[in-house]
Amino acid sequence: MSAEVIEIFPSSPDERKIHRIVDCLKEGGIIIYPTDTVYSMGCDIYNTKAVEKLCKIKGIKPQQNNFSIVCHDLSNISTYAKVSNTAFRLLKRALPGPFTFILPATADLPKILQTNRKTIGIRVPDHEIPQRIIEALGNPIITTSVKDDIGDIVEYPNEIEVIYEQNKDKADIIIDGGWCGITPSTVVLAIDDDFEVIREGLGDFEEIR
């Protein structure tokens, strides 16, 4: 069955549509949703079968996943990642925003997302749609960019028609939230207080460090 496309206006998300998406996530569904950087694919972090399905879509084994998770706000983060006082001050300046912070994972992170690296990427996008979804769901969702790998070139599709054609047999729901962007988040390694940018993206790290 092809994915269902649900149009949501970021400025005024329809609560009935948000709850339709949350029900899908609770049932083990895969969604594609807009963020403040690029469109992303995700599922409920506590639904093991959904995470396994997402790994299959991405062509990786669960124990090799490098997924990040989207939290509703900073109060969520300490459940899943260990955050020093210095790191917390940095996150407070940066989030919500176009950054992914790689932090030491806690034992409360679902086992399927725990890897030998013992880290987890954390996102709090400055976008109303994922924030409302996570708030209604009650826990984070996975974020992995929707992208095309063409040789050495990576492109992030932004047109819903293109995203639908490429992912209609992979996702259960595709959220049409309009334009969001084609540049991914800046990734910051923050496992200690010697912060290091490991991928330059939309966020300007020098502005928040």
Q: Report if residue 98 sits inside a domain.
A: yes
The CATH number given to whatever domain includes residue 20 is: 3.90.870.10
This prediction's pTM: 0.96
Q: How many domains does the chain have?
A: 1
Q: Report if residue 43 sits inside a domain.
A: yes
Q: Report if residue 209 sits inside a domain.
A: no
Backbone conformation region of residue 59, classed left if phi is above 0, alpha if psi is from -120 to 50, else beta: left
Q: Report if residue 42 sits inside a domain.
A: yes
Which residues constitute the domain of residue 15?
4-204
Give the separation between CA 129 and CA 145, rounded to whole angstroms.
16
Q: Report if residue 111 sits inside a domain.
A: yes
At 8 the three-state DSSP class reads coil
Whether 123 contacts 143, CB under 8 Å: yes
> Digits of tens for pLDDT over the chain (209 positions)?
799 999 999 999 999 999 999 999 999 999 999 999 999 999 999 999 999 999 999 999 998 899 999 999 998 899 999 999 999 999 999 999 999 999 999 999 999 999 888 999 999 999 999 999 999 999 999 999 999 876 677 899 999 999 999 999 999 999 999 999 999 999 999 998 999 999 999 999 999 98
Encode pLDDT of 142-188 as tens digits.
999 999 876 677 899 999 999 999 999 999 999 999 999 999 999 99
Q: Report if residue 15 sits inside a domain.
A: yes
Q: Report if residue 107 sits inside a domain.
A: yes
